[in-house]
A and B are shown apart, each in its own frame.
Chain A
Amino acid sequence: MRRLGNTAIAAVTVAAFCSGAWLLSGGAGTHAPPQPTAAEARSGHGGARSAPALPPSPPDRIRIPSIRVNAPLTGLGLTRSGSLDVPPAARKNLAGWYEAGTTPGETGTAIVAGHVDNSDGPAVFYDLGALRKGASVEVDRRDGTVAVFTVDAIAVYKATDFPDEKVYGAADRPELRIITCGGGYSRSTGYQGNVVVFAHLTGSRSR
């Protein structure tokens, strides 16, 4: 009887030791955010037809059903160095839009950005790199309309070689960019670039 008890305790001890060591050595692994493939980066021409531009109206909320994003939008400005500012990192389901730029739905390039993660774990655009061409992005606007965009391409750009004009440059139809961090990670410098989603307006409806 006692022998059986001892065996059980020894077994539990060994199991606890092994699983403890496994967990501490990073067992289940880290969860790097998904990254787009090279095929997703090539924009598909002749895709969905552009819809007529909407009048300017600031956006309230962004939804990307295929990656379960449904997040309020806050206004963003620029940092002192001229880069786009970001939403407060502590609010992990908050995305932002570049307030001094084009509103989503009007002619031009509207810009939305959000965090891939914060110190607690995944944030609003964690799955952005898993988005596929042809997916829908919906933006609720304050004038009561919903601007519907279709994804043309998803690309990764290095921070050291960022194509400003391609990402932020003016467009002659209503376009949208959605930006988050990605492109490899190093402990010393953090994420090495950005995942950028290119989309254009293909429809609108009232809420």
Chain B
Amino acid sequence: MRRTARLLTGTALAVVAAGFVAAPAYGDDGGGSLEVYPSSVVPGAEVSVNTAACGNEGTAAGDASAVGAGAFTLAPSAHEGEAIGQFRVPESAQQGTYEIVAECAEGGRQVSGDLVVTLSAPRGQVQPRGSVKTGVGGVMGPDPVQTAAGVAALAVAAAGGTWLLHRRARGDGI
């Protein structure tokens, strides 16, 4: 009973969580733009871009010549049918914000996203510190279902006891 309930809530939460992560985490508004990851890099770094704008199985021609990386191809991927491509920022790239463009092979729709080039490493520099608060001890305290069952059992015992005492008082003989 409890296991089923837990399984059901677990599944429901997983579905909700999956939706939550899939949709807005890196989301844009309706697949109209080009997502650039990482959005901030140092010269020499590899960058991946993806877009949902070209539809399922759609390919696109990418253009990173603004930052000196030239043309590249976006191929359809397993990830929700998004087209994905990669390029490497040349070591000679200068600091600044560059527009990366992709044009869908079908329909010729154009999408773009920004890439920031910095000269000092922007990511991974700040390491987390210390332990992580990933539990509250919910499995340690009394189990609420068990407590409820205990209370119910005691209620039954009380009812039975009262009834027997009544009998005895009436001289029904136990």
A125 to B155, CA, bound (A): 37
A39 within 8 A of B: no
A115 to B38, CA, bound (A): 27
Count residues on chain A whose CB falls below 8 Å from chain B CBs: 87
Residue B79 contacts which of A56, A114, A143 (CB distance < 8 angstroms)? A143
Q: A116, B17: Cβ atoms under 8 Å?
A: no
Residues of chain B within 8 A (CB-CB) of A122 are 138-139
Q: A20, B138: Cβ atoms under 8 Å?
A: no
Looking at A40-48, A92-100, A130-138, A147-155, the stretch in contact with chain B turns out to be: A92-100
Q: B132, A10: Cβ atoms under 8 Å?
A: no
A10 to B65, CA, bound (A): 88
Q: B17, A72: Cβ atoms under 8 Å?
A: yes
Q: B167, A6: Cβ atoms under 8 Å?
A: yes
Residues of chain B within 8 A (CB-CB) of A33 are 135, 139
A32 to B140, CA, bound (A): 6
Q: A157, B131: Cβ atoms under 8 Å?
A: yes
Q: A169, B46: Cβ atoms under 8 Å?
A: no
Residues of A in contact with B (beta carbons under 8 Å apart): 2-3, 6, 9-10, 12-14, 16-17, 19-24, 26-28, 30-33, 55-58, 60-61, 71-75, 78, 81-84, 86, 89, 91-94, 98, 100-102, 108, 111, 113-123, 125-126, 142-144, 157-159, 162, 164, 168-170, 179-182, 185, 187, 190-191, 193-194, 206-207
Q: Which 9 A-B residue pairs are closest in the complex by CB-CB distance?
A: A13-B160, A23-B150, A181-B135, A20-B153, A144-B77, A20-B154, A17-B157, A159-B131, A24-B150
